[in-house]
Structure 1
Amino acid sequence: MPDQNAIERCLALCREARSLDGAAQLQALSALEAELAGLKGQSPRAKLSEPVIGMDPAGYITSWNDGAERLFGYTPEEAVGQHVLFLYADDDDQVAELFLEEGTSLMEVRRRKKSGEIFWASLALSMTLDEAGHPAGMVARMSEITERLSDEDKLRLHARIIEDSDQGILITDGEERIVSVNTAFTRITGYSAAEAIGKTPDLLRSGKHTADFRAQVRSAMQGAGPWQGEIFGKRKNGDVFPQSVTISVVRNDKGQITHAFSIFSDISVFKEAEARMQRLANYDTLTGLPNRALLNQLVGQALASARRSRSHGALLVINLQRFHSIYDTLGHEVGDALLGEVSARFRHVLRDEDVLARIDGDKFAVALFEIQKREHAGIVANKLLSKLDAPFEIEEHNLRIGASIGISVYPEDGMDTAALLRYADAARVRVHDNGANGYMFYSPEMNERAKEHLWFESELRRALVGNHLQLHYQPKVSLRSGRIVGAEALLRWKHPDRGMVSPGIFIPVAEETGLILELGTWVLDEACRQIRQWQDAGVDVPPVAVNLSSRQFDRHLPDRIQEVLERHGIAADRIKLEITETLLVRGPDTVIPIMNELAARGLALALDDFGTGYSSLAYLKKFPISTLKIDRAFVIGLPQEENDCAIARAIVTMGQQLRQEIVAEGVETPEQMAFLRDLGCDQLQGYLFSPPVVAGDFERMVRDGKRLNLTVTIEQRAAK
Structure 2
Amino acid sequence: MNLVYQSLATIPNRYAFLDRIEKSVSQNPDVSLLLIDVVRFSDVSSSLGYRAGDFILSEIASRIQLLLGENVILGRVSGDIFGAVLPGRFSVQQLQEQYYYLVHHFKTPIAFDDHSFIADFNVGAVANSPGNHNIHELFSRAEAALKQAKQNKYDNFHAIELQERLETSRRLTLKADLKRAFEQNELELYFQPKIDLRNLQITGAECLLRWHHPLDGVIFPGPLLEAAESYNMMNEMGYWVLENAVKSLLEFQQRGINIRLSVNMSPTQLYDSKFVENLNLLLATYQVDASNIELELTEDIALSNSLMVHKQLTELRSLGFHIAIDDFGKGYSNLAYMRDLEIDTIKIDKTFVMNLDDNPVNKAIIQATRLIAESMNADIVAEGIESLSHLHELRDMGIKTGQGFLFSKAVCLEDFVQLTYSDIMVGDSLSFQHRRA
Task: Give the TM-score, by structure 1 length.
Answer: 0.40
Matches of 1:559 and 1:276 in 2, distance apart? 36
Do 1:479 and 1:682's aligned partners in 2 also have CA atoms closer than 8 Å? yes
Structure number with larger C-alpha Rg: 1
What's the secondary structure of 1:576's corresponding residue?
A: strand
> Which residue does 1:218 correspond to in 2?
none
Cα 1:580–1:368, aligned 2, differ >3 Å: closer, same or farther? same
2:15 aligned to which of 241, 262, 278? 278
What's the secondary structure of 2:130's corresponding residue?
A: strand
1:670 aligned to which of 354, 366, 388? 388
Matches of 1:558 and 1:332 in 2, distance apart? 14
Query: CA shift at 1:640, angstroms?
Result: 3.0
1:656 aligned to which of 369, 374, 395? 374
Query: CA shift at 1:696, angstroms?
Result: 0.7
Q: Which has the higher contact order (CA 8 A, sep 6+)?
A: 2
Matches of 1:360 and 1:284 in 2, distance apart? 15
Cα 1:632–1:333, aligned 2, differ >3 Å: closer, same or farther? closer
1:686 aligned to which of 399, 404, 407? 404
1:633 aligned to which of 333, 339, 351? 351
Whether 2:340 is the aligned partner of 1:622: answer yes
Matches of 1:485 and 1:710 in 2, distance apart? 22
Matches of 2:420 and 2:25 in 1, distance apart? 61
> Which residue does 2:260 correspond to in 1?
543
What's the secondary structure of 1:365's corresponding residue?
A: coil
Whether 2:194 is the aligned partner of 1:476: answer yes
What's the secondary structure of 1:545's corresponding residue?
A: strand
Which digits, 9 at most, give the CA deviation of each residue in 1:100-123, with x for residues without a partner? xxxxxxxxxxxxxxxxxxxxxxxx
Matches of 2:260 and 2:219 in 1, distance apart? 27
Matches of 1:362 and 1:448 in 2, distance apart? 18
Do 1:482 and 1:710's aligned partners in 2 also have CA atoms closer than 8 Å? no
Cα 1:464–1:320, aligned 2, differ >3 Å: closer, same or farther? closer
Whether 2:110 is the aligned partner of 1:365: answer no
Amino acid at match of 2:314: N
Unaligned runs of 5+ in 2: 1-8, 33-87, 106-123, 135-160, 432-437
Cα 1:564–1:320, aligned 2, differ >3 Å: closer, same or farther? closer
Query: CA shift at 1:532, angstroms?
Result: 1.6
Whether 2:224 is the aligned partner of 1:506: answer yes
Unaligned runs of 5+ in 1: 1-271, 296-316, 335-358, 370-418, 427-446, 714-720
Matches of 1:636 and 1:579 in 2, distance apart? 21
Query: CA shift at 1:326, angstroms?
Result: 6.6
Whether 2:187 is the aligned partner of 1:489: answer no
Tell me the C-alpha RMSD between the 2 structures: 3.6
Matches of 2:294 and 2:94 in 1, distance apart? 30
Matches of 1:655 and 1:646 in 2, distance apart? 14
Cα 1:512–1:586, aligned 2, differ >3 Å: closer, same or farther? farther
Matches of 2:421 and 2:312 in 1, distance apart? 36
Alignment of 1:273-352 (within 5 A): 276-280=13-17, 284=21, 288-289=24-25, 318-319=89-90, 323-324=94-95, 327=98
Query: CA shift at 1:506, angstroms?
Result: 1.7
Alignment of 1:574-593 (within 5 A): 574-584=292-302, 586-593=304-311
Alignment of 1:105-116 (within 5 A): none
Query: CA shift at 1:514, angstroms?
Result: 2.4
Do 1:667 and 1:673's aligned partners in 2 also have CA atoms closer than 8 Å? yes
> Which residue does 2:416 correspond to in 1?
698
> Which residue does 1:384 correspond to in 2?
none
Matches of 1:365 and 1:332 in 2, distance apart? 29
Query: CA shift at 1:284, angstroms?
Result: 4.3
Alignment of 1:572-611 (within 5 A): 572-584=290-302, 586-611=304-329
Query: CA shift at 1:674, angstroms?
Result: 1.4
Of all paired residues, the percent bearing the same amino acid is 29
What's the secondary structure of 1:691's corresponding residue?
A: coil
Which digits, 9 at most, give the CA deviation of each residue in 1:483-518, with x for residues without a partner? 000000100011000111121112123234321111
Matches of 2:342 and 2:428 in 1, distance apart? 31
> Which residue does 1:241 correspond to in 2?
none
Query: CA shift at 1:697, angstroms?
Result: 1.1
Matches of 1:521 and 1:584 in 2, distance apart? 19
What's the secondary structure of 2:205's corresponding residue?
A: strand
Cα 1:547–1:585, aligned 2, differ >3 Å: closer, same or farther? same
Do 1:639 and 1:675's aligned partners in 2 also have CA atoms closer than 8 Å? no
Which digits, 9 at most, give the CA deviation of each residue in 1:415-454, with x for residues without a partner? xxxx9x64xx42xxxxxxxxxxxxxxxxxxxx343x4332
Query: CA shift at 1:368, angstroms?
Result: 8.6
Matches of 2:263 and 2:92 in 1, distance apart? 28
